[in-house]
């Protein structure tokens, strides 16, 4: 009964990650897409709660020249689809 959370905004322009940190449950998945991938570039995710699987969309990293830190796992567009299919619900944090 886990949730897939999609983040598509830069964590430096908004407080979405703070808000999301209060909204995740253990076992949830967070996928960074579009400008959200900038959160994987440095320290923005350091204080994010544990027990949550962090993913980053590979093609958005490539187009932005972002090299994700070890905290998040790369996923392809097909993997994105798999995540939406294996989680119970999806929440978009645009």
Partner 1 sequence: MESKSILVIVRHPPHGSSWVREGLETALVGAALGQPPTLLFSGDGVLALLAQQQRGALGQKGSAAMLEGLSLYDIEPLWYDQYSFESRGIDVEQLIPGCQQGCIAEMIARHDVVMSF
Smallest distance from partner 1 to CB 67, Å: 29
16 is an interface residue for partner 1 by CB under 8 A: yes
**Would you give the binding string for partner 1 spanning residues 72-91, x where CB under 8 A is met?**
----------------xxxx
Of 31 and 66, which has the nearer Cβ to partner 1? 31
For residue 81, the surrounding DSSP H or E stretch is helix 77-86
What is the Cα–Cα distance from 88 to 83, expressed in whole angstroms?
10
Nearest to residue 5, comparing CAs of 14, 44, 13, 22? 22
Mask: binding to partner 1, 23-42, rule CB under 8 A, as x and -?
xxx-----------------
Estimate to the nearest angstrom the gap between the alpha carbon of 34 and the chain centroid. 10
């Amino acid at each position: 009964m886990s949730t897939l959370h999609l983040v598509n905004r830069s964590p430096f322009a908004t407080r979405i990650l703070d808000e999301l940190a209060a909204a995740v449950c253990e076992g949830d998945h967070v996928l960074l897409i579009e400008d959200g991938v900038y959160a994987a570039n440095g320290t923005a995710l350091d204080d994010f709660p544990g027990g949550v699987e962090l993913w980053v969309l590979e093609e958005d990293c490539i187009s932005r020249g972002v090299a994700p830190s070890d905290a998040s796992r790369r996923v392809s567009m097909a993997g994105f689809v798999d995540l939406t299919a294996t989680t119970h619900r999806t929440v978009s944090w645009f």
